[in-house]
Homo-oligomer: A and B are copies of this chain.
Amino acid sequence: MSQDALVVFTPSGRRGRFPLGTPVLQAARALGVDIDSVCGGRGLCGRCQVVVAEGDFPKHGVHSCQEHLSEHSETEHAWEKENGSLKSGRRLSCSTQVLGDVVIDVPPESQVHRQIVRKRAEVLDLELDPIVRLHYVEVQEPDLHFPASDLRRLKDALDFDWRLTGLEADIRVIQELQGALRRGEWKVTVAVYDNARIVAVWPGFQEKVYGMAVDVGSTTIAAHLCDLQTGKVVASAGRMNPQIRFGEDLMSRVSYVMMNPGGDTEMTAVVREALNELTLDLAEEAGVGVTEIVEAVFVANPIMHHLLFGINPVELGGAPFALATDEPVAGLWATEIDLRIHPNARIYALPCIAGHVGADTAGVILSETPYYNEEVTLLVDVGTNAEIVLGNRLRLLAASSPTGPAFEGAQISCGQRAAPGAIERVRIDPKTLEPRFKVIGCELWSDEPGFAEETASTGITGICGSGIIEVIAEMYLSGVINQDGLINGSLEQSSPRIQANGRTFAYTLVSAGDRILQITQNDVRAIQLAKAALYAGVRLLMDKLGVDRVDRIGLAGAFGSHIDVTYAMILGLIPDCPLERVGSIGNAAGTGARIALLSRSRRAEIEDAVRKVEKIETAVEPSFQQYFVDAMAIPHKHDPFPNLRETVTLPEPVISEDSGARTRGRRMRSAR
């Protein structure tokens, strides 16, 4: 009778013959089967769980059953009882020996390179491959006869157990190593960065390490804490960016530095302090120690990026808008940006793309991976500027368009940030011109019973970005404004909502007691300028790419989440595209940071993609100006919305007296 047994692993299909008594984990390793383990087969980590497939497998010539494996070991009983985490029918491959032919299934959660399937369907799956990994080792004790240093014996153990060769060690690891080895009685867990450097050491068995993915926005800083072993988000937190006190928007912060030497240092200090507070929030929520956080990955726009890393952002405030660096910031110690996580934790920031197109846009690209597809994807991230990415697997273009902050509610007479009390949805009756609306924090429309009571606490304080888009579009649809955006003053007679406002007119959206919220001619103009800038940028990139349509549109960020796409199309913010192919992509920048945190290969992928992105500077493109002027009208001539017309009945535009020949000419051309 044979002293060997055939072992087949699924799903890999790898197979081999092994002497009876061989541990399953050892067989798996010999065959290069992907089974996770932190403790190196010592029954400490419980990661190497497998399942025996019972039955006959003619393809493999195997009859497989539980009896072809050794009895449950004490370690396994302990795991079943005490940890409760060895599921029924599962075995720990490190303490189970092969006694006959078997088919062993490695479930996804036991694979090192397991797939993470995220809940949000539009986001791609991810192969977990963090750059920092834990390795448990038992280190030889020092011996007078073999005077090797603590570090050398540690490295020998890592080489022997984990085939990690040529590792280097951070000085702080060397400083802590003696104590860790002796406290852990020569058993330690190390964190290894990029299979190259030992960056942390803990006495005994350390089960978990964590990483942070952070999106440093000019208004808010949002962070996720992820378990690097599972890829799961264990905590999420956000804070206001305290730099706001130096200037509401990006340009005012750059101005602050120009006017106040040393202002960059101040702003660097406050954002780093906010990051530390955010880190404490995350650690507390997840119940982990800050020193268990071994990496932090950042996305940010160029000015936030430069301030975070202590680089003066003034060059980004004026032409030629030269970045200090367009490379990823990689391998920096957390201490170098004063971040109080593990002192040797590494910092990674996705690369900035150009002076106005930051690491946040790189995050959007990484999250959406337009470079994988044939279809032409348009990605838009609207903030103070609109970052625009267009392309497919052959070419990818990026630009920033100077929309200004109107889409965020700034520069609008009654505009405000999205916050409770802000109007976010608007409908205008085309006959009576009476509005109804919804405010953030209340589910009811303003004409529904109970609205007044429910909004009593917050009041109706202003209008946010999505509300502005809707009110302007509804004003157009109801004939309050014409294609040129001019408020039709002749309606003053028929509706109390239209009122003179100096030499122009305004539309009154809310008039309740002292509180009057009006949409003025200037407000309409501000939105026209913003949307023309956005559209012109998109149009320019389409020209550069040589396409006259896009296959898919993704709208990133808070603006993208709240906006009603139909209205965006009515106003002509974005080019024509089937409605079902247009959608919010959420905080894609932050998602990109998380992907980079969890996957070394995806990090390399985005670095490569960013190098290849063609950077377009709208300011030096003559056609941009023309597109901009042309796109002021609603809807603009380049985009007759053929498919939109099927869903919304557009009223015949009212042509005012003063719109003149230019408007008529445009209509003639768009009639082609």
Stretch at the interface among A103-111, A146-154, A642-650: A146-154
User: In the bound complex, what is the Cα–Cα distance between A619 and B145 (angstroms)?
Assistant: 9
Q: Does A177 contact B (CB under 8 A)?
A: yes
Contact B152 A327 (CB under 8 A): yes
In the complex, which residue of chain B has the Cβ closest to the Cβ of A312? B178
Contact A179 B312 (CB under 8 A): yes
Max chain B C-beta neighbours (<10 A), residue from A177, A178, A321, A619: A178
Q: Does A160 contact B (CB under 8 A)?
A: no
User: In the bound complex, what is the Cα–Cα distance between A312 and B178 (angstroms)?
Assistant: 8
Which chain A residues in 134-160 approach chain B with CB under 8 Å? Answer: 142-145, 147-152
Contact B320 A174 (CB under 8 A): no
User: In the bound complex, what is the Cα–Cα distance between A329 and B175 (angstroms)?
Assistant: 12
Q: Does A547 contact B (CB under 8 A)?
A: no
Known interface pairs A142-B320, A309-B174, A320-B142. Does A149 touch B620 (Cβ–Cβ under 8 Å)? Answer: no
User: In the bound complex, what is the Cα–Cα distance between A670 and B441 (angstroms)?
Assistant: 104
The distance from the CB of A618 to the nearest CB of chain B, in whole angstroms, is: 10
User: In the bound complex, what is the Cα–Cα distance between A149 and B336 (angstroms)?
Assistant: 22
In the complex, which residue of chain B has the Cβ closest to the Cβ of A347? B171
Known interface pairs A174-B311, A311-B174, A336-B171. Does A620 touch B144 (Cβ–Cβ under 8 Å)? Answer: yes
Contact A147 B354 (CB under 8 A): yes
Residues of B within 8 A of A325 (CB): 149-152, 169, 174, 177
The distance from the CB of A267 to the nearest CB of chain B, in whole angstroms, is: 14
Q: Does A615 contact B (CB under 8 A)?
A: yes
Q: Does A4 contact B (CB under 8 A)?
A: no
Residues of B within 8 A of A332 (CB): 171
The distance from the CB of A575 to the nearest CB of chain B, in whole angstroms, is: 24
Q: Does A310 contact B (CB under 8 A)?
A: yes
**B174, B310, B323: which contacts A150 (Cβ < 8 A)?**
B323
User: In the bound complex, what is the Cα–Cα distance between A315 and B324 (angstroms)?
Assistant: 46
Q: Does A402 contact B (CB under 8 A)?
A: no
Max chain B C-beta neighbours (<10 A), residue from A144, A322, A323, A615: A322
In the complex, which residue of chain B has the Cβ closest to the Cβ of A302? B149
Residues of B within 8 A of A320 (CB): 142-144, 147
User: In the bound complex, what is the Cα–Cα distance between A486 and B171 (angstroms)?
Assistant: 52
The distance from the CB of A352 to the nearest CB of chain B, in whole angstroms, is: 8
Max chain B C-beta neighbours (<10 A), residue from A147, A151, A352, A355: A147
Which chain A residues in 614-632 approach chain B with CB under 8 Å? Answer: 615, 617, 619-620
User: In the bound complex, what is the Cα–Cα distance between A544 and B633 (angstroms)?
Assistant: 94
Contact with B along A457-493 (1 / 0, CB 8 A): 0000000000000000000000000000000000000
Known interface pairs A144-B319, A179-B312. Does A324 touch B150 (Cβ–Cβ under 8 Å)? Answer: yes
Residues of B within 8 A of A319 (CB): 144
Contact with B along A165-184 (1 / 0, CB 8 A): 00001010011011100000
Residues of B within 8 A of A309 (CB): 171, 174-175
User: In the bound complex, what is the Cα–Cα distance between A325 and B153 (angstroms)?
Assistant: 9
Known interface pairs A144-B620, A145-B620, A179-B312. Does A174 touch B324 (Cβ–Cβ under 8 Å)? Answer: yes
Contact with B along A310-343 (1 / 0, CB 8 A): 1110010001111111110100100010000000
The distance from the CB of A306 to the nearest CB of chain B, in whole angstroms, is: 9
The distance from the CB of A473 to the nearest CB of chain B, in whole angstroms, is: 34
Contact B310 A147 (CB under 8 A): no
Contact A327 B149 (CB under 8 A): yes
The distance from the CB of A668 to the nearest CB of chain B, in whole angstroms, is: 36
Contact A617 B355 (CB under 8 A): no
Residues of B within 8 A of A620 (CB): 144-145
In the complex, which residue of chain B has the Cβ closest to the Cβ of A326? B149
Which chain A residues in 573-631 approach chain B with CB under 8 Å? Answer: 615, 617, 619-620
User: In the bound complex, what is the Cα–Cα distance between A144 and B620 (angstroms)?
Assistant: 7
24 contacts between A and B (CB under 8 A): A142-B322, A144-B320, A144-B619, A144-B620, A147-B322, A148-B322, A149-B322, A149-B323, A149-B352, A150-B315, A150-B325, A151-B323, A151-B324, A152-B327, A171-B329, A171-B332, A171-B336, A174-B311, A174-B324, A175-B309, A177-B324, A178-B312, A178-B315, A178-B324
The 10 A-B residue pairs with the shortest CB-CB distance, nearest first, are A142-B322, A149-B323, A149-B326, A151-B325, A147-B354, A142-B320, A144-B320, A144-B620, A147-B615, A144-B617
Chain A residues within 8 Å of B, Cβ to Cβ: 142-145, 147-152, 169, 171, 174-175, 177-179, 309-312, 315, 319-327, 329, 332, 336, 352, 354-355, 615, 617, 619-620
Given A151-B327, A152-B325, A171-B329, 13 extra CB contacts under 8 A: A143-B320, A144-B617, A147-B320, A149-B324, A149-B327, A150-B315, A150-B324, A151-B324, A175-B309, A177-B325, A178-B322, A178-B324, A179-B312
